[in-house]
Amino acid sequence: MRSFTLTPEQIVSILTALTADELARSFGRYVEGLTQASWTADTRLGVEGADVTAEQARACARRAAIFFGMPEDAVRVGPNDRFGDWAGQVSAMIRAEMTAFRFHPATHGGAADTRHAADDIWQDARGVAGLLQGRRRAATLVSRGSLMGLVSAVLAPNLQRLEVVDARRLTPDEMAESLRFGDVVIATPTLWRYLADTLPSIPSNVVGLSFGEALTPDLAERLRGRGLGAMRELYGSTETGVVGWRDSPSDPFLLFDHWSRSGQGLIRHRPNGATLPALPMDDLTWQTDRSFRLGKRRDGAVQIAGINVFPVKIGEMIAEHDAVESCTVRLSQRAGALDRLIASIKLRPGFEANQDLAWTIDEWCRARLQPPERPRIYTFVEEAGAEPASAASAGGVSSGSATATA
Provide the 10 A C-beta neighbour count for residue 381: 22
Query: What is the identity of the amino acid at 236?
Result: G
Mean pLDDT of 33-40: 92
**Segment 90-136, tens digit of pLDDT:** 999 999 889 999 998 765 554 568 999 999 999 999 999 999 999 99
Fold of 99-299: Rossmann fold (3.40.50)
Ranges 281-295, 319-333, 336-350: which has the least confidence: 336-350
Inform me whether the pLDDT recorded for 289 exceeds 60: yes
**Segment 185-196, tens digit of pLDDT:** 999 998 998 899
Domain 310-405: give its CATH code.
3.30.300.30
First to last CA, the chain: 50
Helix (H) or strand (E) holding 312: helix 311-318
SS3 330: strand
Sequence ranges of the domains in the chain: 1-96, 99-299, 310-405
Inform me whether the pLDDT recorded for 391 exceeds 50: no
Provide the 10 A C-beta neighbour count for residue 274: 9
Ranges 99-103, 145-149, 285-289, 366-370: which has the least confidence: 366-370
Strands 307-309 and 324-332: unpaired
Provide the 10 A C-beta neighbour count for residue 198: 13
Alpha carbons 393 and 376: distance in angstroms, whole number: 14
Inform me whether the pLDDT recorded for 390 exceeds 50: no
Give residue 285's pLDDT band: very low, low, confident or very high (50, 70, 90): very high
Query: What is the identity of the amino acid at 344?
Result: S
Helix residue ranges, H only, 134-245: 147-150, 156-159, 172-178, 189-198, 217-226
DSSP secondary structure code for residue 54 in this structure: H
Q: Is the pTM of this model over 0.75?
A: yes
Note the pLDDT of residue 303.
73
Alpha carbons 361 and 213: distance in angstroms, whole number: 27
Note the pLDDT of residue 404.
56
Give Cα separations from 369 to 60, 191, 243, 273 (angstroms): 20, 21, 30, 43
Proportion of the chain above pLDDT 90, given as a percent: 62
